[in-house]
Structure 1
Amino acid sequence: MKQLAAEIKEHLEQKILPFWMNLKDEKNGGFYGEVDYSLRIEEEADKGGIATARFLWTFSAAYRVTNNEKYLEYANHLYAFLRDKLYDRIHRGIYWLVDFRGKPKDTRKHVYAQSFAIYALSEYYRVSRSREALDLAMEIYHLIEEKGYDNQNQAYMEEFDRSWHPVDNEMLSENGVMAEITMNTHIHVLEAYTNLYKATYDQALKQRLTDLLHVHYQNIYDEKTKFLNVFFDKEWQSLVDMKSFGHDIEASWLMDETMKTINFHDSNYDKMILDIAYNVADYAIQEDGSLINEQINEEYDYTRIWWVQAEAMVGFLNAYQNTDDPKFEQLIIKLWDYIKQNIVDKRKHGEWYWSVEANGKPTERSVGEPWKTSYHNSRFCLEFIERVLG
C-alpha cells in the first residue's frame, strides 16, 4: 500500500495540482472559471462560490500535508477572492456565482455552498492561523444555524434568495422532484462542521455534529437496503427510489471521520459505516474495478464519473483500515488502475476527464467548471498520503 500511496502522491504533485495552478487569475483574482474539453481556458467564464471554496480547501490542505510553501501562496490568493468578492457583506453568506471580474451574478444563497465556505475557511485557518478567516467561518456557521436549520424536523434547509428568504431548491433537486431536504447538503454540512471543529474544538459545534450523525443514521440511512436515501420532503419522506453510489461511499468515510474527530462511539453507527462500504463494493463495483454512478428505480447509470472514483478510493481505504479485510485492498488496487487507464487525461496539460461513458469513451464535457474542481481527487490523494505514508 505504501508504494501505491507514493505513486498517488506523485500524481497529485505532478499532474493534478499543476493543472489547477495554471488557472490562477492574476488580474481579477481567484481561478479562471472554465477549462473546456479541448483544454482551452475560458478566461471570462463565471467563477463559482462552491468552486472557489473547493480550490481554497485544496491548496490549504495541500500545504498542511506537504509543507510546500507554493501551495500556501495559492491559498492566500484564493482566500482574498473569496473574502473580497464572494462574501455578501450586506446580507451575509457566499454567493452562488460571480462573473470573471468578481461582480455578483447569481446571488442566491444555498446551505450547500455555505458549507463549503466553512470547510475551506477552517482549513485555511489551520495553516495560516488567520483569525479573520476563522471569524468568517464561524459567522457563516452561525448564519446556517440561524437561517438554514429547521429545528422542528432537525433538517438543514436548502436554497434561499440573496436576503435569506426560502425559495425552491433548484440547484440540488433533480429527477423530477423538488426536494426540500437532500442527503447531499447534509453530508457536506457534516463535513464542514467536522473541519471547523478541528479548528476550534467548540463544544456547541460538537453537539451539533452529534445531532447530525443521529440524523444520518435515523433519517437518511436505510437499514434495509444499506444505502442512503437522496431526496426528501420536509417530513423526511423519501421522494424517489434512487441510489447514488458515489455519495454513499463518500458518506461512509465522512461519518467515520466525524466520529473519530469528536471521539464519538456507537456500535450501530460503526456497523452502518461498514455496511455501506461492503454494500457499495458488492452492488456497484464493475468487473473493470470502476464504480458506476447511480440507480433510479430499476435503471442503472453506468457512467464512471471522476469524483465517484475518487471518493471510492478513500471510502475503501477507510474500510480497509477499519477491518484489515484484504477485499478492500484489492478493490483499491483495481480501482486505481482503472482511474489511471481511463479517468486520467493523458493529454499534455490534462488532468482528469469529467467522466467516461458506458462505452469507455471520455465524456466531451468541460474538465474545469463550477462543479468540477480540484477537491475530490486532490482530497483522495491527500488522504492516502496522510493515512498510508504518515
Structure 2
Amino acid sequence: MQKLKTEVARELHEHILPFWSACIDESHGGFYGEVNYELQRNEQADKGGIATSRILWAFSSAYVITKNEKYLPFATHAYKFLRDKVIDHEFLGLYWMVDYKGNPADTRKHVYTQSFGIYALSEYYKASQDPEALELAKQLFLLIEDVGFDKEINAYKEEFDRKWTETPNEMLSENGVVADITMNTHIHVLEAYTNLYKVWPDIRVRAALENLLEILYSKIYNAETKYLGVFFDKQWTSLLDLKSFGHDIEASWLMDQTLRTLGLEKPEYVQMVIDIAYNIADHAMQEDGSMMNEQEGDHLDKTRVWWVQAEAIVGFYNAYERTGDSRFQELADNLWIYIKNNLIDERAGGEWYWSIDPDGTPTPREINGAWKCPYHNSRFCLEIMERVNE
C-alpha cells in the first residue's frame, strides 16, 4: 500500500490542490464558483455555501495533516468569505448560495449546509487555533439542535427558508420524491459533529453523536439487506427502493470514525460497519475495478461518479483495518488504478472529471461547481496518507 500512499500524496499536492488554488477569487473573496467541462472559468458564477465550506475544509485539513505552510493562507481566505458573506448574520446559518460578490442569491437554509459549515470551521480551528472559528462552529451546532432537530420523531429536519420556517425538501430530494428525512443529511451531521467533538468534547455533542449512531442503526440501516435507506417520510417509512452505493460505503467509514472518536465499541455498530463494506464489495463493483453509482428497483446506474470512487477507497481501506481481509486492500488498489486511468483529468488546468459514462467517456459536466469540490478527492488522499504506515 506504500505505492498507493506515495501516488495519492503526489496527486493531492501536484494536481488537486493546485487546481483549487488557481480558483481563488482575489477580487471578491472566496473561490470562483464554476469551471466548466471545457475548463473555462466563470468568474461571475454564484458561490455555494456547501462548496465554500468544503473548500475551507480541504485546505484546512491539508495544512493540519501535511503541515505544508502554503495551504493555510488559502484556508484563511476561504474562512473569511464564509464568515463575512456566507453566514447570515441577521437570521443565522449558512445561505444555500451567494453571488460572485458575496451577496445573498438563494437564502434558503438547509441542515446539510449547516453541517458542512461545522465540519469546515472545526477543521479550520485545528489549523489556525482561531477561537472565532470554533465559536461559529458551536453556534451552528446549537442552531441545528434547537431548530433543525425534530425530537418527536427523532430525526434531523432538512430545508428551511431564510428565517428558519420549515419548507419542502427540494434541495436534497431526487428520483421523483420529496423526502422529509434523508440518509444523506444524517450521515453528514454525524461527520460534522464528530469533527467538532475532536476540538470541543462537549457532553451535548457526544449525546447527539450517540443518538445519531442509534438513528442510523435502528432507522436507516436495514440489517436484512445490509443497505442504508435513502429517503423517508416523517413516519420513517422508506419512500423509494433506492440503493446509493457511494453513500453506503462512505457512511460505513464515517460511522466507524465516530465510534473511534467516542471510544465506543458497541458490537452491533461495528458489525454494521463491516457488513455494509462486504455488501458493497459483493454488489456494487464492476469488472474494471470501479464502483457503480446506484440502483433503483431493478435498474443499475453504472456511471462511475468521481466522489463514489474516492469514498470507496477510504471505505474499503477502513474495512481492511477492521477485518484484516486482504480483499479490501485489493479493492482499494483496483479503484485507484481505475481513477488514475479514467477519472483524473490530464488536460492542462484540469482536475477530476465529474464521472465516466458506462461507455467509458467522460461525462461533459463541470469540473468546479456547487457540488463539485475538492472535499471527496482531497479527503481520500489525506485519509490514505494518514492511514497507510507500512
Using the size of structure 1 for normalisation, the TM-score is 0.99
Distance 2:298 2:51 in 1: 33
Q: Give the Å deviation of 1:28.
A: 0.2
Distance 2:140 2:157 in 1: 15
Kept after mapping to 2: 8 A contact 1:6/1:389? no
Deviation string for 1:225-253 (max 9, x for gaps)? 10000000001100000000000000000
* Corresponding residue of 1:157: 157
Residues 219-368 of structure 1 aligned to structure 2 (within 5 Å): 219-368=219-368
Letter in 2 for 1:326: S
Distance 1:125 1:389 in 2: 26
- Larger mean CA deviation between 153-162 and 3-12 belongs to 3-12
* Corresponding residue of 2:111: 111
Q: Give the Å deviation of 1:348.
A: 1.3
* Corresponding residue of 1:387: 387
Distance 2:146 2:203 in 1: 17
Quick check: 1:192 aligned with 2:192?
Answer: yes
* Corresponding residue of 2:372: 372
Distance 1:382 1:273 in 2: 21
Quick check: 1:44 aligned with 2:24?
Answer: no
Q: Give the Å deviation of 1:175.
A: 1.3
* Corresponding residue of 2:80: 80
Q: Give the Å deviation of 1:46.
A: 0.4
Letter in 2 for 1:102: G
Identity of matched residues, %: 58
Distance 2:17 2:389 in 1: 19
Letter in 1 for 2:166: P
Kept after mapping to 2: 8 A contact 1:60/1:72? yes
Match of 2:388, SS state, is helix
Q: Give the Å deviation of 1:346.
A: 1.2
Distance 1:193 1:251 in 2: 14
Q: Give the Å deviation of 1:204.
A: 1.4
Structure 2 stretches lacking a partner, 5+ long: none
Distance 2:121 2:165 in 1: 25
- Larger mean CA deviation between 265-274 and 244-253 belongs to 265-274
Distance 2:64 2:335 in 1: 27
Q: Give the Å deviation of 1:389.
A: 4.0
Letter in 2 for 1:150: D
Distance 1:134 1:7 in 2: 33
Q: Give the Å deviation of 1:135.
A: 0.5
Distance 2:284 2:365 in 1: 24
Q: Give the Å deviation of 1:2.
A: 1.4
Match of 2:105, SS state, is strand
- How many residues in Structure 1 have an aligned counterpart in Structure 2? 390
Letter in 2 for 1:46: D
Using the size of structure 2 for normalisation, the TM-score is 0.99
Q: Give the Å deviation of 1:307.
A: 0.2
Q: Give the Å deviation of 1:33.
A: 0.2
Deviation string for 1:145-194 (max 9, x for gaps)? 11100001110000000000000000001111110000000000000000
* Corresponding residue of 2:148: 148
Residues 59-98 of structure 1 aligned to structure 2 (within 5 Å): 59-98=59-98
Q: Give the Å deviation of 1:207.
A: 1.1
Moved beyond 3 Å, runs of 4+:
none
Kept after mapping to 2: 8 A contact 1:43/1:100? yes
Q: Give the Å deviation of 1:4.
A: 1.2
Distance 2:125 2:155 in 1: 28
Quick check: 1:131 aligned with 2:131?
Answer: yes
